[in-house]
Amino acid sequence: MKKIIYAYILSFTLCISPSCIKGTSSPKEVELPEYLFMDGDLAFRRGSGIMSHVVLAASTDGIYSHVGIIKIIDKKYYVIHAVPGEPEYKGDIDRVKVEPVNIYFSTEKAVRGAVMRVTEDREVASGAADYALAISSRGTLFDHEYNLDDTTKMYCTELVNFVYKKYGIDISEGRIRDINLPVMQGKYLMPEDLAAYKDIKQIYHFTR
């Protein structure tokens, strides 16, 4: 019960973040070297909103507060990610969504970002990206309880780690941490836990 109460507090925190205040206004697109990106690459970002500060406060040495997985569809680049508080239209629900990469990294949503490659095995990477797309297509909701034991709903790091584990790669390598903050209590998988993967390679990064 306590975990559910904290989840509601966390949800309220999200709803006073800049993304909720701006509503459904369109973020400004940015130009990126998309030719460097491939299916299955991880897209890390750090936002400027309250939730980003909450996530970073719970981290030890992390510089990113969110992550998604890149998928190329009809020669266009997208990020599949589980995110709260970023409705695309009035009445939109918190869910796993598919978003153009230049919107995902827009100036309104990211003050810092990086694209990292988990594996050079294209079959595995593409398979993970395809699986993430299928999860999004099912209308999978965002997991406001942050429960790693329940995959019917997902949060950002859970989604990325889950789809790669289906192809034999545990990006987290067991790095799940206990957090005790007013709005975050329990076991969480953080973006920095994925960025610390032994075989990960940075392809691109930026700081604004």
pLDDT digits (tens, 9 = 90+) for 65-100: 999 999 999 999 999 999 999 999 999 999 999 999
Confidence category of residue 182, pLDDT binned at 50, 70, 90 = low
According to the model, what pLDDT value does residue 19 have?
38
Average pLDDT over residues 143-161: 96
Mean pLDDT value across residues 164-172: 98
Residue 92, token pair as written in the block? 């939109």
Instruction: For residue 27, give the CATH number of its domain.
Output: 3.90.1720.10
Would you state the structure tokens that stand for residue 42, as one six-digit string? 């991880």
List, for residues 98-119, the tens digit of each pLDDT value: 999 999 999 999 999 999 999 9
Q: How many other C-beta atoms are found inside a 10 Å radius of the C-beta of residue 93?
A: 10
Domain count, the chain: 1
Per-residue burial over 118-148, b if 16 or more Cβ lie within 10 Å, else e, is: bbeeeebbbbbbbbbbebbeeebebbbbbbb
DSSP 35: G
Kindly report the backbone phi and psi dihedral angles of residue 116, in degrees, each rounded to the nearest multiple of 5, phi listed first: -130, 145
Domain with 97 in it: 2-207
The answer, yes or no, to whether residue 177 has pLDDT greater than 70, is yes
Going from the C-alpha of 196 to that of each of 32, 66, 117, 168, the distances in angstroms are 24, 14, 12, 17
Q: Work out the mean pLDDT of the chain and round it to a whole number.
A: 84
> Coil, helix or strand for 163?
helix
For 3-54, the pLDDT digits (tens) are 433 443 444 333 333 333 344 456 666 789 999 999 999 999 997 655 655 5
Q: What is the pLDDT of residue 183?
A: 58
Which pLDDT does position 135 carry in this prediction?
A: 98
The secondary element (H helix, E strand) that includes residue 133 is helix 122-137
Q: What is the pLDDT of residue 30?
A: 78
